[in-house]
Structure 1
Amino acid sequence: MRPETTFSDSNSTARPLLTIAIPTFNRAQDLIAALMVLEPQLVAYPQVEVLVSDNASADDTPQVLAAAQERFAAQGIRLEIQRHAENIGSDANFVSCYHRARGRFFWLCGDDDLIVPGGLAQLMPHLQDAEGKPSDVDLVYATSYGFREDYQRERQVDPFGRRFHTLRNPRDVSMVVNIMFTFISGMVVNKERLESLPHEDPAAFIGTNLVQLSWALPLLLHHRRSIVLWERPVAARQGNANGYSLGRVFGEHLAGNVTRLLPGRPDLSDPILNFTLRRWFPSILLDVRSAGNETLKLDEAHAALQQTFGNNSRYWIFTYPALTWPLPLAKLYTRVTAMLSKLIYMAHLPGFWRKQT
């Protein structure tokens, strides 16, 4: 579906180096915060465009964007706005952002997440060489930290003092990023390179709640070089997830999309799925159970996850207890298995616990 309205503050036809795309719906206040934190960072980078795709918000989002566009234009910052005539769903809005983005690199960011001050400065040197030409980086993983109230007061840094690592082995990328391939604000992709590779149109994945995998995993499959930014340039707002089946999306859909996008490469798909079972599911399930969040449909989770992962021992050892045992016992057990999972992770990646020289 075509957007109802489209505006642009730039007449330039040159392809930007980077598009930061923000899909939004009825989160005017969160969007204000995201744009205010990003705005002063953009002044130094005229080769970056910002695209905001409004999914027919009924709140003050149009007014917020009109004011932001005026401010941005006064500083020479490219801000493009599209507004859909009706809500087309989050997946379709993400895909709309991807198709509309003109940048050689593409960074989809949630409207409730923040690129913290200095975050853009961490990223930009990796997207171009010393002569200002686009680099050969396929993926950049921007690590993150969670916050609920004040992203500055709750700021977290890398405990090992790392700045970044360069990865050339795609299996290392799979192990380091793992389930975070699904976090939309955490992956910067080389869209120009992806356009030159055989890949499915992201629209084919609408309805899975994981369309973002469609532009990241093909680059992992045809990998050359990736970067991990360890200084946590993204602050991820906690507590906003709702409206989907956790078991179905991160069971059937995750496994299906990963194997579909990484065909014949269990060396790349297994680290993503196994980490999800060992560490991510136990943590998120306990958080959801403790919060009493019924919108994620935990009552359906066991059936959905067992159907997908029932033949994987990690489901029964790590995930199942966190989902079904009495909450106090599940929390205690998961503390122990989390330490085991961390040891497994560190054993597989022995070189990633020191600063890159």
Structure 2
Amino acid sequence: MTSPILSIVIPTFNRASYLKQTLENLRRELPTVAAGTVEIIVSDNASPDDTPTVVSAAVADGLSIRSIRNAENIGSDANIAQVFNMAKAPYVLILGDDDVLVAGTLSFLISTLQKETYGVVCLKSYGYDSDLLAEHPGGHGKSLVFEDSGDFIAAIGAYITLISACVINKGLLGDIDARQFCGGNLVQVHLVLKAALSARQNLFYTGYAVACKRNNSGGYDFSKVFVEELGRILDSYVADGLPRSGIRKFERRMMFGYYPYYLLRQRQNQTAGLNDTYGRFSTRFGNRPLFWIWLAPILKLPRPLSLLWGSLTVAVGRSLSGDFRRGLTFLQKQFLR
């Protein structure tokens, strides 16, 4: 029997309809790779909806799934860690229950992982609202191989935080227990960093390979997790070989092309905590001119001006960070709807 090369592990809670779509997509893609090369695991975090029925139906339709259902909700971090620990293959993709692999991605992954050894293979993603095929940005990608872990982390930017974007070489991590990283909503970042720093090379595929349901998560403070906690995690890996220059490049990319959108959303929605957000950003980035020029105006200008400036920074930041199509799409949605 063929040993699996890739474990696709899916932590899920109370999103049966999205999980159904994700599993149906995997059932369509599995015939594109050799039998036995992929294992699928679902960890149901005590969902009160039809999740058990969805999993059972997928199995009845011929999809081989190892599944576990928690007796009670153990939290998203612990559920992610649990299902990662269950994986038997050398490579693991933690796939969000509302995310879908674009057609051809699975065969690309298996082919790539069979040819070379990588610490992390990062896949570019895109957000969609209703039709993942019609909303695909298009274009073609290429595989970029990095031998410098700092350059790799800087290149993938925010994708380090997206569970569905990073295939992790678990084989390089020994008998690691992912539960040790629970508590900050970024279990996957620790795993990506450890694998990337342990490998001779890492790969970033620049084609849009993962479709992610847009604005479908929450329950956390954005700046606390993606500025304060993420910064703390990055700093903690300097002792393990992550160069500070790589962290600076990574954070410059985040400030320019990632953070503007979420700050703009906060101003658009007029959500509370603006002062806390400003405090966390200024504490981490206050000594960098880019923060004051690019981000601070979104937080501090009068709302009409901040929305205008924020829209500009999102469009320009995405376009000049290699996401021209997403930048153009954003402009169309903001001003041509």
Tell me the TM-score normalized by structure 2. Answer: 0.86
Which sits farther off after the overlay, 55-64 or 175-184? 175-184
Give the one of 81, 97, 109 matched to 1:95: 81
Paired amino acid for 2:128: F
Contact kept? 2:294, 2:313, Cα under 8 Å: no
Letter in 2 for 1:79: I
Distance 1:282 1:64, change over 3 A: same
Does structure 1 retain, via aligned residues, the 8 Å contact 2:258–2:318? no
- Is the 8 Å Cα contact of residues 260 and 313 (structure 2) preserved in structure 1? no
1:259 matched to which residue of 2?
A: 235
Partner of residue 326, structure 2? none
Q: Which residue of 2 aligns with 1:124?
A: 110
Equivalent position of 1:132 in the other structure? none
Written as runs of structure 1 = structure 2, the 5 A alignment for 1:221-260 is: 221-260=197-236
Equivalent in 127, 138, 161 of residue 157 of structure 1: 138
Deviation at 1:343, TM superposition (A): 5.3
Listed as ranges, the matches of 1:192-231 within 5 Å are 192-195=171-174, 201-231=177-207
Task: Indicate conservation of the 8 Å contact 1:181/1:187, yes or no.
Answer: yes
Match of 1:63 in 2: 53
Cα deviation for residue 223 of structure 1 reads 3.5
Match of residue 355 from structure 1 = none
Map of 2:329 onto structure 1: none
Match of 2:145 in 1: 166
* Map of 1:312 onto structure 2: 288
Q: 1:268 matched to which residue of 2?
A: 246
Q: Deviations over 1:266-324 (max 9, x none)?
A: 0222222222222211122213433x274x85453122323333333332222222223
Contact 1:38 1:117 survives alignment (8 Å)? no
Distance 1:297 1:15 in 2: 49
Alignment partner of 1:53 is 2:43: yes
Percent sequence identity is 32
CA distance in 2, matches of 1:128, 1:55: 32
- Name which of structure 1's ranges 316-325 and 251-260 shifts more when overlaid on structure 2: 316-325
C-alpha separation between the residues in 2 aligned to 1:344 and 1:60? Answer: 40
Deviations 1:226-270 (A, max 9, x none): 222222110011011211111111121010011113336202222
- Judge conservation of contact 1:136–1:225 (CA < 8 Å) in 2: yes
Q: Distance in 2 between matches of 1:268 and 1:293?
A: 34
Separation (CA, whole Å) in 2 of partners of 1:277 and 1:47? 39
Superposed displacement of residue 120, structure 1: 0.7
Pick aligned residue for 1:107 from 93, 113, 119: 93
The equivalent position to 1:148 in structure 2, one of 129, 140, 144, is 129
Residues 37, 114 of structure 1: 8 Å contact kept: yes
Q: What residue ranges of structure 1 are gaps of 5+ in the alignment?
A: 1-11, 130-134, 347-357
Q: What is the one-letter code of the residue matched to 1:22?
A: I
Question: CA 1:342 to 1:148, structure 2 compared with 1: closer, same or farther past 3 Å?
Answer: closer
Pairing 1:287–2:265 present: yes
**Is the Cα contact below 8 Å between 1:138 and 1:224 reproduced in 2?**
yes
For the 8 Å contact 1:146–1:238, the answer to whether it is kept is yes
Residue among 161, 173, 177 paired with 1:182: 161
For residues 109-159 of structure 1, give each alpha carbon's deviation from its aligned partner in whole angstroms, at most 9, with x where no partner exists. 111111122121221111003xxxxx311111110111010101111123x
Q: Which runs of 5+ in 2 are unaligned?
A: 324-337
What CA distance in whole angstroms lies between the structure 2 residues aligned with 1:238 and 1:337? 16
Decide whether the 8 Å contact of 1:23 with 1:93 is kept in 2. Answer: yes
Return the TM-score normalized by structure 1: 0.82
Deviation at 1:107, TM superposition (A): 0.3
Cα distance in 2, alignment partners of residues 345 and 143 from structure 1: 11
Distance 1:59 1:332, change over 3 A: same
Separation in 2, partners of 1:85, 1:227: 38
Q: Which has the higher helix share?
A: 2
Instruction: Report the RMSD for the aligned CA atoms in angstroms.
Output: 2.4
Per-residue deviation, 1:202: 2.9
Where 1:227 maps in the other structure, the secondary structure is strand
CA distance in 2, matches of 1:337, 1:238: 16
Size of the aligned set, in residue pairs, is 318
Q: 1:67, CA displacement in angstroms?
A: 1.0
| Aligned mates of 1:300, 1:180 — CA distance in 2 | 24
Moved more, 297-306 or 58-67: 297-306
